Chains A and B, each alone.
Chain A
Amino acid sequence: MDCPDENTLLAYCERALGHSQAQAVEAHLDQCSACLALVGEAARGPAQTTVVDVPEAKPGTDKPTAPASAPGRGTQLGRYVVLDRVGAGGMGVVLSAYDPRLDRRVALKLVRALDGAGARELEQRLLREAQAVARLSHPHVITVFDVGTVDGRLFMAMEFVEGPTLRQWLKETPRTWRQVLHLFKQAGQGLAAAHAAQLIHRDFKPDNVLVDAQGRARVTDFGLARLQDTAPALPTPPRANLPDDDAAPLTRTGSLVGTPAYMPPEQWSGEPMDARGDQFSFCVTLYEALFRIRPFAKGHPPDFQHLQSPAHDTDVPAWVRRVVLRGLSVSPADRYASMDALLEDLGKDPARRRTRLWATVGAVAGLAALATLPRLFAEPAPCTGASARLASVWSAPREARVRAAMLATGASLAGSTMDAVARHLSDYARAWEAGYTETCEATHVRHEQPENVLALRMACLDSRRQSLDVLADALERADAALVQKAAEASLRLPPVSDCSRVESILSLAPEPQDPAARARLEQTRLRLSRAQVLLETGRYAQGRTEATAALEEARALGYRPLEAEVLHVAGWLEHRLARNEEAERSWTEAVRAGLAGRHDRLALRAATDLVFVIGYELEDMKRGLEQAAQARALMERVGSDDESAGRLENNLGLVYFGEGQLPQSLEHYQRALVLRERVLGPEHLDTAKVLTNLALVRTRQGSPADAVSLYDRALAIQRRQLGAGHPLVANTLILLGDARRLLEGPEAAVSFYEQALALREGTLGDTHLDTIRLHNDLGRLHEQLERFDSARVHHEKALALTARAFGEEHAEYARSLQALASLEDRQGHFVAALKGYERTLALQTRLLGEKDASTLRTREERAAVLRKAGRAREALVEVQAVLARKEADGGPRQPRLVTSLVELARTWLELKQPENARVAAQRALDIIQPLGWSPTRRAELQFTLAQALWATKSSRPQALALADEALAAFTSAGKAKQAQAREVALWKQARSSP
């Protein structure tokens, strides 16, 4: 008996033998234990440890097809930032990544590193083909945004589609043949478009078609078959558990190596394959989807001579079957000449022809709605006009005009800001064009969208285009102030993607139909766009006038959805003007108008904004939380999306932060961060906002090290998105300086403050309030470093600039006076300090009133000086008055009382009334206990309490224990609290020695 050779045994294991050959092998195995052992060995795969044990011969000769090392989250690849690993396949790895230029998530295919003789040429071919795919723009082909090499590896950045593969879609639930056909026609159009661009897919199968959120078929992975049609060489890769049928997707994008069921006969015979090969694969896929059985029996190659009939009765019409069978012809010449021809026949549904007549009648009825879109019909090819329509609004000449206008302002930021603006606006323009084409084609090419939906979506797109126009208009007339806001404003145009939320557009109350009303509606929309741009460019007062006019018009029209939108913008303008009560009123009305007009998304947005204006700005936590509950209910109704959820969490974080409830605040911010990183990406400005919010909490909680790294991240984002000179960057630099100060002492902050000062002087000017206040902050830093001369220079500069900017009869002037008085106090010049505080107080009482927080704060500081100057009686009266006023306003347990209570305790100590001092200090501690403040803030109170307790002589051990705790807290805070630590240590030493 002759044993089969190793080739045959391996072919048996790989199922590469025909049926009769395989049987012959099995018959032999029945008799021959040696060959059985060989088959067993071959089936088993290599020993696990083999390759690991082998020392590397030389660098660069790694396993040729080792799964390409996948860069981890946060890795920068070119301009992309890796978010996640999505899958891996024969061709390499698939990552999800953030593209800061497009500001969106993309799928990044990273081709495995190639090396060796043919690598260069193979890469060139892949690159050429990928570039061809990238030039292809078709609604049923996954868009490839970018192709290139990074770190020597070929990559493709493509649209990230969240949705099942066609295979999964078919398995999810039984589909009617019409549903199946509908989806396949779309995929077929994608293939046809590729063929028209000289591209052949070569690996069409149900795993290479995705069904996106809108239910559209999207073909992907063109040409990648070059890399993956054989199994990798060595070692045998870990094979995934195979579900029953032999074509199993490993991942949604990386497909299982070799799925021979879909390959055309000519590929089996090694002949070159043309577009008709794709047609064959398409028909295998379609046959399988319709009849739930493969057309040809399994095998290598499959048995192309015998068609397998469906096991069950089927309601698929005979004409569909005929079309599919022609595509399955063994000889390419017998198939359709092209995909287009095949699709044409697939479209000849006798039943559909009747319904299409109906559609025409419906279109006539819908013409009124289309009155605003006459050009749509004038154009010969219905959906090619996107760029032309947009060019009237944003084009190279207009960009040049805007650039010239911005540069003419002479603002130092103009150049870099303009670059950012141009980038953002061209992204916006691209998104608009894509949206326009897609919307138009859905009706006029794919015939899947009713005319009335088209009209509504087009109206939405028109309003987006108008917003762009209005912004461009404002930019053409830029001044220095506008330059500062331009980069952000260009990012904050209303998103084009809203216009593809068909469901929420359809749910809106219907627009008025008579022509006069429609004209007024357009007019109001224009005003709304203007108000929006004025808001984003910082011209709040002007914006408010515009919004008020728009509101009147919208109300006169009685069109509630628009009224809601106007109210929402109005609320923001009011908030920016610090009229928070009015903002609350506007947003409350916006919620109502939104609900009345079935504009749920807007209602949700306004309710979310209410959380923050009521709960944080107006400091009414209870009502703020009620609003949050309202917003959550709306979110449930609208269908929760991460962006809204992220906004709500951030606002809740603010509310709790405002109340000093740091752990809760932290929790909400953290949730907001996760949501925003997911939906907006880790490089978005709003993500940076949460980062700085989080950092502030961590600072207050006494973890400045955490804060520093959070600020670093935020700073990097802001610099990238807004330019390194942007005023927001200066703000973050200061916050970062503060965190560093807590970590390493005041010296560490100086350079950050100085950088920020230079930025502000350059961009905001000398007399901008932010610049002036930064002088005071720098002054205070120098005070801490006991460099009193430098401190005085800064404070006096601030005073002079305030006088220049605001005059001497102004609250800001009072604040500058106060800063100087505080310096005198620190230097021990109590008389001068008191004089300064009295001037400050006189101004503040006159301008702000007695109840104002700043007035009270000044009184408190003055009381402290009185105490230090030996006038404790007077100090006591003063601090008690302040305390009483605060209590009258906000109750006995508010955090605002803490500073007053500490001062009170110190005064009582000075007056040798330790029991009273103890009571005050204990109260302060009780207030902060549940708030989670930083250990050093608590330590200050503990030390005060310790001093009081010691003085009462009744609980000295407790006093020493408290002092110990305080000392420990100060010591572990490091350099920043050195002085305090020393003070406590000395105090203790004096008391614990016998």
Chain B
Amino acid sequence: MSAADVKTISKMADMAAIYIDEKELEIYASQLDEVIRYMEEIKSLDTDDEEPMEHILAVKNVFREDVVTGENIRDEFIKNTSIDEDGYFKVLAVVELI
């Protein structure tokens, strides 16, 4: 059985909000299948006694004080998008969750 068939990859593409046409899908699936099979080699390792390493550093408790430093820079970032209306970012109507 393949690790990543067309159906699985198609589902992942949907979750990642990417379109992949049918022809491409086969190529992606076969490449990723090979990659995932290789990755899956670690599945068989005995890691029962291992803690997952979530942070490599021993750093903890990094905070900032509750001070307002921000200023209005709307004009700065709005130049990266061509579409704005009265200072809003505009998108096609959002009906439901995607």
The yes or no verdict on A and B being binding partners is: no
B interface residues, Cβ below 8 angstroms from A: none
